[in-house]
Structure formats: structure tokens, C-alpha cells
Amino acid sequence: MSSHRSSPFAIGLTGGIGSGKTTVTDMFQQLGIAIIDTDAIAHQLTTPEGLAIPAIRQTFGNAAIAETGAMNRSWMRELVFNDSKAKKKLEQILHPLIRQQCEKQAADASSPYAIFAVPLLVESGNWRQRVNRIAVVDCMEETQITRVMKRNNLSLEQVQSIMRAQASREQRLAAADDIIENEADLSVVKQRVKELHEQYLKLAKNMTISAEQ
């Protein structure tokens, strides 16, 4: 996505694995806010007939494509985990297409502001220029580990390995304009989302007024 913002007011929302990003974006969606999910876009691009499939086949060969016509995820995961050059090649295919789809969805959004849900927002480095504010869904690392082990049936070592590949909790919090703590019960999270929603509506309205003057 270019530095041009298609929607007048945009929020970048992120959080570590198991922090509860989906729970929070679902709450914003229930309030009528457009959610642009980069993970969902990446998945869509690599399904059968997905826009990234021809380039993936050309770059990595037929082994990269499953019998269904989708990207062979387990094969690709193994490859990019062990080969940084392969990882970079895959990113060079996916990232421009993801940006393109983000821009399209942002342009189509009819809500007063839009939320870009980006798991690796802090790691990507240039989202600060693309959004007006960054919101971080936060919880203790022990909570992340417990949730992901239970949800994905992964070992402690596997979860810790994924977490090491992501920005640290401290790095995410340092980048945050707004923090949504997802440690307590969901009613507390819901109340925080409602507060931020009201705040974002006011900021979006002020920005629209400024743009019209």
C-alpha cells in the first residue's frame, strides 16, 4: 500500500500470536467498522485460482502447488522456515498483491474509519506512514503461550519459536498509540473497544471537517 490513504481515517491493529486480535476485530466489525485483514487477503491470494498462484508455481515449481490448486502450505512453510532467500521470494510475490488488495478494500470501505488488521505491523516497519493510529492487542506472554498451545495443538517449543520470530511485546507496546488489554474477561475488552470506537469516530469526523475546509 502506498503512503496515500484511501480512507480518511485508518487504524493499524496488531498483536502477538494468541493475543486475541480476531476477537477484537470482530468487536469493531459488530460496531459497523470495515476490517481489512492482511492475513485473510494473503490466504485468498494463495487459494485455487488465487492471484499469487501463477507466480508461486513459476518461482518454486509444481511442488509448491497442492493437488487442489492452492499453495501447498505445509511444503512452503517448511521451505521458508529453513531458507531466508525463499522466504524473501515469496514475500516479493505476496506483498505487492496484498498492498493492492488493501488499497482496493480501503477504497470500498463505507464506514467512518477503517481498521487494517496486520499481524506483523511492527515488523513490517512502514505501516506508521500508512495509518493514523496504531492499536495493539496486548496480554502477558504466558497467556499467549497457553492460548496458542491449546488452540493450535502446538508444543511449548513451537509456540516460543513463533514468538521469537515476531516483534517482542515491548516493541509492540512502544509502537502503540492505543492499547487493548486482553487479559481479563471479554466484557472489559468490549468496553475498551467501545471507548476507542467513540474516540476514533471523533478523530475521523475532525479529519473530515479539516479536509473540507
CA–CA distance, 64 with 58 (Å, rounded to integer) = 9
CB 49 within 8 A of CB 129: no
CA–CA distance, 33 with 48 (Å, rounded to integer) = 29
pTM of the model: 0.87
Kindly give the pairing relationship between strand 133-138 and strand 114-117.
unpaired
Residue 66: partners with Cβ closer than 8 Å, 6 or more residues away:
72, 73, 75
Q: Is 124 helix (H, G, I), strand (E, B) or coil?
A: helix
Look at residue 208 in the predicted model and tell me its pLDDT.
73
Given a cut of 50, the residues of the chain with pLDDT beneath it are 1-7
Considering just the CA atoms, what is the radius of gyration of the chain in Å?
18
Look at residue 148 in the predicted model and tell me its pLDDT.
93
Look at residue 211 in the predicted model and tell me its pLDDT.
67
Look at residue 2 in the predicted model and tell me its pLDDT.
41
* Helix axes of 186-212 and 21-30: crossing angle, nearest 10 degrees: 60
CB 10 within 8 A of CB 132: yes
Domain ranges of the chain: 1-33+113-213, 46-110
CATH superfamily of 1-33+113-213: P-loop containing nucleotide triphosphate hydrolases (3.40.50.300)
Residue 162 CB-density burial (10 A; 0-12 exposed, 13-18 middle, 19+ buried): middle
Look at residue 213 in the predicted model and tell me its pLDDT.
57
CA–CA distance, 18 with 148 (Å, rounded to integer) = 5
Neighbour tally for 177: CB within 10 Å: 14
CB 180 within 8 A of CB 193: yes
CA–CA distance, 25 with 156 (Å, rounded to integer) = 27
